[in-house]
Structure 1
Amino acid sequence: MDEFWCVFDVEWPQNHPHLRDAIEQARQGGIELAISNPCFELWLILHFQDHGSWLNNNTARRLRQKLDRSDNKGIDAAIYMPLVRDAARRAEELDERHLRNGTAFPRDNPSSGMHRLLATIKHRRAT
């Protein structure tokens, strides 16, 4: 069975203007979503450490650069791949925290749905 995923971020401090419409259209079309809030850099941060406080894009980018010593261009798989399970666990813990607190999208900053996409890929490979 084919599955389609859309990977995107929310952008803070100003969300994409058609964010909610894009999410609704994807769901109506059966497209799964891996949303990072505020931005994809949060997913990268979670490879290195827990992060439970609100972020904007600039703060996330600076923290990512500090953690992986990057110039904010590209991703070095040799650094990130060994840490992907840690990132997935941390992202799941953020989801659980938001669920317990009743924090709903788009107020679920920080969060990343990348762990769900990766779990699906892993499951598909195993079958």
Structure 2
Amino acid sequence: MTPRRTRAKDLRRRTATRPERRTIVIFCEGEASEPDYLNALRRLPHIRDSTAINIEIDPDQGVPLTLVNRAIERSADDEVDECWCVFDVEWPRHHPHLDRAIRLAAEHGIRLAVSNPCFELWLILHFQDQTAFLTTAEAQRLSRKLDGRTGKRIDPTRYLQQRQAAARRAALLGRRHDRNQATFPNDNPSSGMYELLRAVEPTASGSG
């Protein structure tokens, strides 16, 4: 009897199917604390696996309207899923053309993470609640006092472990301003950074 032939095994390696990563482009006006924070965020393994975050810093530290116009141009790229602009309001003297920048962003689907008075307010919320009005200079001084730094650069590892607490505090501020009918730019203090976190990491959305 002829021995039964066994079917040869398929030696081709089966490739695992992974969901395609989203691409988010973030435009920043700052060249220190904002990129430090965002670069550390995008390196977190669970974010890196699901979302490609590209950070673009305006070489001239452009005003919000400049960032929004750059984001509109970039959003025409089919490879880009979302464009965000991260910028400040500034007190007592606001950035120029804030209302126009926000209106233009809404018209073109550009997402905004605006901090009022400045990004340092978002950093403060990682350590404590902040409900009182702050000028930009006051927010910068308090932020440096809380983390002990002397310059603009931050150690992002000190912040990322507290990001969910910061998101909750920022969301509570937003709801408080809504109840009080405090409209932009009179919603000081506030930060839309928690909404950016919601886009890249739903567990840090600030809900609840």
- Residue 72 of structure 1 deviates from its aligned partner by 3.2
Identity %: 56
Q: What is the DSSP-based 3-state SS (H/G/I as helix, E as strand, rest coil) of the residue aligned with 2:154?
A: coil
Please state if 1:65 is matched with 2:144. Answer: yes
In structure 1, the partner of 2:178 is: 99
Whichever residue aligns with residue 101 of structure 1, its letter is N
Deviation larger for 71-80 or 30-39: 71-80
Query: As a proportion of its length, which structure holds more helix?
Result: 1
Q: Counterpart of 2:168 in structure 1: which amino acid?
A: R
User: In structure 2, the residue corresponding to 1:54 is in which secondary structure?
Assistant: coil
2:102 corresponds, among 4, 23, 37, to 23
Query: What amino acid does structure 1 have at the position aligned with 2:165?
Result: D
**2: CA distance, partners of 1:121 / 1:79:** 19
Counterpart CA distance in 1 for 2:150 and 2:108 is 37
Larger Rg: 2
Instruction: Show the 5 A alignment for 1:7-86.
Output: 7-86=86-165
Shift of 1:78: 1.7
Q: Distance in 1 between matches of 2:129 and 2:151?
A: 20
Larger RCO (CA under 8 A, 6+ residues apart): 1
> 1:87 maps to which residue?
166
> Within 1, Cα distance between the matches of 2:174 and 2:131?
11
TM-score, normalised via structure 1 length: 0.93
Where does the alignment leave 5 or more consecutive residues of structure 2 unmatched?
A: 1-21, 23-80, 203-208
**Matched AA of 1:7:** V
Paired letter, 1:121: V
Distance 2:151 2:176 in 1: 29
Cα deviation code 1:46-75 (max 9, x no counterpart) = 000000000001000000010000113212
What RMSD over aligned residues (CA atoms) do the two structures have, in Å? 1.0
Instruction: Report SS of the residue matched to 2:161.
Output: helix
Contact 1:61 1:72 in 2 (8 A): no
| Structure 1 residues not aligned, in runs of 5+ | none
Which consecutive segments of 4 or more residues in structure 1 shift more than 4 A? Answer: none
